[in-house]
Structure 1
């Protein structure tokens, strides 16, 4: 194994910061969702339409991100994504403060999703370049920093909610801080193409479409389940605690922070467990834990629900990053497979808000969270596709 260069270490630190900034600004917005619902005086179903607008924007950005990164490089692509997402957050915050109609707020939400989608794919692509340069798998660490960023964003959001700081002040300041971090971090990225990039691109072009590869599609399904498990908590957990248990908005955000903190811990501790026990065993146990956590949140007392949020967080920790690593098992096909898996996975952010919002209008948001348990049970069945490919299997899939 070659000794990592200073440039590779700097790129690693830069991408860690970029992942953290992504999580921070995302959680800053999500921490104010209960306030958005109250300020606009809308139902759970109407709120779900706003969240759906973010998902639509992301699904528009995902197919574009790979092409943009190929032409401009990961660094410029991340910056471009931030320049869409951050103004969208500022515009949405100001529109909510002015009690604007949903049709006025929705385009800003689409802008948020578009930027986040482009940003997310580019930072993951940079992560695979850095992994190859360092000679070891560190993708869970990048996602851990995303989770750490969400914890910081959620805790700050909880404090500012308790202090009654207006959304129109909180979110624009968060956007400015995020922009500074993104610009600094992307300035340390590795060049867009390493010395093997031409060989990798040729191999990808000669292979069949990743949309026709059963393993890639099933990894996408697993990532979709993981994203649904994580995304529903991000979108609805705070509101479920507020409306389901009659807690203050600030305590609802604390519940979200508990989920995010334990998800971060799961990602930090997960890498050695993956090395020791393998992807399949670890992922099965974690999806099962997410089922248990979901049941405690829905059927427990308030304090048991907080315990459930912690277990749910651990259960949701590794599905997404391990899915990214599984899609990139063959370096020559990694970019195209990551694009497919990311697109399928983000489908959870399209269906999740609408499904939970619809069920929330009929059964309450807290009871609607039971859907997460059902999705996790289904995910356990497809986890074996995450098993690493052997060299012979990589060659066979290219035929």
Structure 2
């Protein structure tokens, strides 16, 4: 830290960052929870729905490519504020495009805007989170990411209630848009650390960051870790229904087990990080994740397979947030490096689903999950790149 800040302001900033993570999760999960309603309202075929969903991914990827420069120029506080308004506009447009004035094109524009705002917020809030972590002098980044997970759980619950209460999708998304915008704008007022520590008169350094071996290798590691997490999100319920003959309701429970243990690991895994450091903790985490997937696939009983999923979730918890912390080790280059790592890492969320789906066609979805440990084990060689770099 280049400036001295009272402890109370550090705690306030930490709370503001946590709220930002949580509300970003609420915004994204609210849309995904209402995808079935969008499909029905717009009478979309599976192929058309797939193209519609792609709009959000394109928006998020475009945000990742530009977020380093934007965050460097506007600083995290203003970037997050702009992102909050963008996210709210995206949700509102999607809500109108689904309900008030049904239109696939308007809905696509809405979720593209939502994806761009969410991606922009993702980079800026991770940059500020890394500086808060530095100010506190203890590991807290995984707990911020746990707040994102809790936000998605809360959004899913609220969406279920909205559907049960027959609340129009337009009204639901508009209310969430207002809450997310207002809450994030208030939370951003506590941001101060990355603003004070960066040289905003110099260039952002994004292009230079794309030529840094350490940054690129961290990005590659984060890609594998994001793939490990995303594969569970997309496929674990289907894999257990098809491969272990679980009922659909129980498949959803299995996914809940993964999310629960991952969130638990993000809240309490900081103890391991502070005690043993990044490299040992992530090595153990990745071995746990690989072991959990393998156990989930080859278990001889349903109960043991679910235990494998629990271990998988626990092993997945720390990798992505620690990758963000490592990218932000140098405050002056944090925005550029976090954006590069995010671009590389988020590729997993685009390439992962079709890769596992293709393997599922050949060997079944359950066996297709084995691509996760096959990627994790060689990626262990990249973990030393997470070793902290002094300013």
- The reply to whether TM is greater than 0.5 is yes
Correspondence for 2:266: 267
Shift of 1:126: 1.4
Secondary structure at the counterpart of residue 121 of structure 2: helix
C-alpha distance in 2 between matches for 1:220 and 1:297: 27
SS at match of 1:329: coil
Residues 204, 168 of structure 1: CA spacing in aligned structure 2 closer, same or farther, 3 A cutoff? closer
Q: Partner of 1:335 in structure 2?
A: 335
What is the CA deviation profile of residues 344-384 of structure 1, one whole-angstrom value per residue up to 9, with x for unaligned ones? Answer: 11211222233345455666655544333333233223222
Contact 1:17/1:181 (CA < 8 Å) preserved in 2? Answer: yes
Aligned to 2:186: 184
Pick which of 338-347 and 33-42 moved more: 33-42
Residue 308 of structure 2 is aligned to residue 308 of structure 1: yes
- How far off its partner does 1:102 sit? 6.1
Displacement of 1:20 in angstroms is 1.1
CA distance in 1, matches of 2:158, 2:292: 25
Matched position secondary structure for 1:188:
coil
Q: Which residue does 2:83 correspond to in 1?
A: 81
Q: How does 1:274-285 map to 2 (within 5 A)?
A: 274-285=273-284
* C-alpha contact 2:216 2:341 (8 A) present in aligned 1: yes
Question: What is aligned with 1:126?
Answer: 128
Q: Partners in 2 of 1:217 and 1:289 — Cα distance?
A: 24
Q: CA RMSD in A?
A: 3.6
How far, CA to CA, are the matches of 2:372 and 2:89 in structure 1? 32
Cα deviation, 1:216-268, whole Å, max 9, x if unaligned, reads: 111110111111222233344455556664634x6554433332221111111
Q: CA deviation at 1:320?
A: 0.9
TM-score norm. by structure 2 comes to 0.82
Task: Specify the alignment match of 1:377 in structure 2.
Answer: 377
Cα distance in structure 1, aligned partners of 2:360 and 2:101: 23
State the distance in 2 between where 1:158 and 1:292 align.
34
Moved more, 31-40 or 365-374: 31-40
Q: Which residue of 1 aligns with 2:287?
A: 288
CA distance in 1: counterparts of 2:274 and 2:99, whole angstroms: 48
Q: Distance in 2 between matches of 1:215 and 1:282?
A: 19
Give the match for residue 143 of structure 1.
145
Q: What SS does structure 2 have at the residue aligned with 1:193?
A: helix
Give the conservation status (yes or no) of the 8 Å contact 1:8–1:133. yes
Corresponding residue pairs, total: 386
Deviation of residue 326 (structure 1)? 1.5
The answer to whether the 8 Å contact 1:48/1:357 transfers is: no
* Residues 287-311 of structure 1: CA deviation (Å, up to 9, x unaligned): 2222233344445565555433322
Q: What is the CA–CA distance in structure 2 between the aligned matches of 1:370 and 1:178, rounded to whole Å?
A: 38
How far has the Cα of 1:48 moved from its partner?
4.8
Which residue of the partner structure matches residue 198 of structure 2? 197
Q: Note the residue ranges of structure 2 that are not aligned, 5 or more in a row.
A: none
Structure 1 unaligned regions, length at least 5: 395-399
**Pair 1:111 & 2:113 matched:** yes
Once residues 358 and 102 of structure 1 are traced to their aligned partners in structure 2, the CA distance between those partners, rounded to angstroms, is: 28
Q: How far off is 1:204 after superposition?
A: 7.5
Tell me how far apart the structure 2 counterparts of residues 118 and 69 of structure 1 sit (CA, whole Å).
8
Separation in 1, partners of 2:100, 2:296:
34
